[in-house]
Amino acid sequence: MNNGIFITIEGGEGSGKTTLIERLAHTMQQRGQIAVTTREPGGIPIAEQIRSVILDRSHTGMDARTEALLYAAARRQHLVEKVAPALQAGQIVICDRFVDSSLAYQGYARELGMEEVWSINRFAIGDWMPQLTVYLDIDPSVGLNRISRASEREVNRLDLESLAFHKRVREGYRELLKRYPERIVRVDAEGTPEQVFADVLAVVDARFKGFFANDTN
Ligand code: TYD
């Protein structure tokens, strides 16, 4: 059973998820909460190995369904080994991407269909869904431009997709915002990191007022 808080952060390339998650976890830890940060695909050794198969730039022949199944497999293992135990222990889990990435990238942008992709993911995750998903929205040309300037970031197979693909990913997320208005909140990610962080923290605090009620600040 989920006694904790499961938050997922979604967004296109260069939307600033990594920095944001670090800051969010730091703030929660300062408040005395235990916040576990993790990422998909990956987060634990088996899933990191699946990640390297999926994102290997030489794997240009990977079939779209194979790709979707591998993301779902990595998700399952990561959920069972890391996410679910932390939630069962009452901790806060902040995860960089989860099922919505598969729905937007494989379901919508790769045109496998959101329903089809949802059904394999339902098999993988059962009833484990985030209570809150923050979608960091950025124009893909701005996002891709950001990552091309960040030389330390390795360029993976999905980054090499066309701008048109990344625009479809954004449309996919917009569709998800319409389908799950209770769970997914859009935050504009084109502002400064400070602004984006302040906006996200406000969303998180508003959503989990009761849980944070005993905090000192
Ligand atoms: P990563 O380097 O973690 O990118 P980012 O910093 O943008 O999260 O690479 C993950 C890539 O995998 C990213 O392009 C999004 C893609 N992805 C999917 O297509 N489907 C999924 O289910 C997940 C979790 C990620």
* Closest atom, ligand 1, to C-alpha of 39: 3
CB 103 within 8 A of CB 8: no
Note if the pTM is more than 0.85.
yes
Chain-wide mean pLDDT for the chain? 94
CB 156 within 8 A of CB 62: no
Sort 16 into a burial class: Cβ within 10 Å, 0-12 / 13-18 / 19+: buried
Strands (E), 2-118: 5-11, 35-39, 92-96
Across residues 107-136, what is the average pLDDT?
A: 98
* pLDDT confidence tier of residue 213, bands split at 50, 70 and 90: low
Label residue 14 left, alpha or beta by phi (over 0 means left) and psi (-120 to 50 means alpha). Answer: left
Q: Is 71 in the pocket of ligand 1 (CB under 6 A)?
A: yes
* pLDDT confidence tier of residue 9, bands split at 50, 70 and 90: very high
* pLDDT confidence tier of residue 155, bands split at 50, 70 and 90: confident
Residue 108's contacts (CB-CB under 8 Å, 6 or more residues apart) are: 114, 168, 169, 171, 172, 175
Q: Tell me what pLDDT residue 212 has.
A: 66
Residue 10 DSSP one-character state: E
Q: Is 15 in the pocket of ligand 1 (CB under 6 A)?
A: no
Alpha helices in 79-162 (DSSP H): 84-88, 99-101, 114-125, 140-149
Phi, psi of 117, deg, nearest 5: -70, -35
Q: Tell me what pLDDT residue 159 has.
A: 84
Q: Is 102 in the pocket of ligand 1 (CB under 6 A)?
A: yes
Q: Is 41 in the pocket of ligand 1 (CB under 6 A)?
A: yes
The alpha carbon of 27 is separated from its chain's Cα centroid by a whole number of angstroms, namely 19
By most ligand atoms within 8 Å of CB, the mutation choice from 51, 96, 158, 165 for ligand 1 is 158
Q: Tell me what pLDDT residue 217 has.
A: 45
Q: Tell me what pLDDT residue 216 has.
A: 47
* CA nearest ligand 1 atom 22, residue: 102
* pLDDT confidence tier of residue 15, bands split at 50, 70 and 90: very high
Tens of pLDDT, residues 67-106: 999 999 999 999 999 999 999 999 999 999 999 999 999 9
Separation CA 124–CA 102 (nearest Å): 12
- Residue of 20, 76, 27, 70 whose CA lies nearest to 49: 70
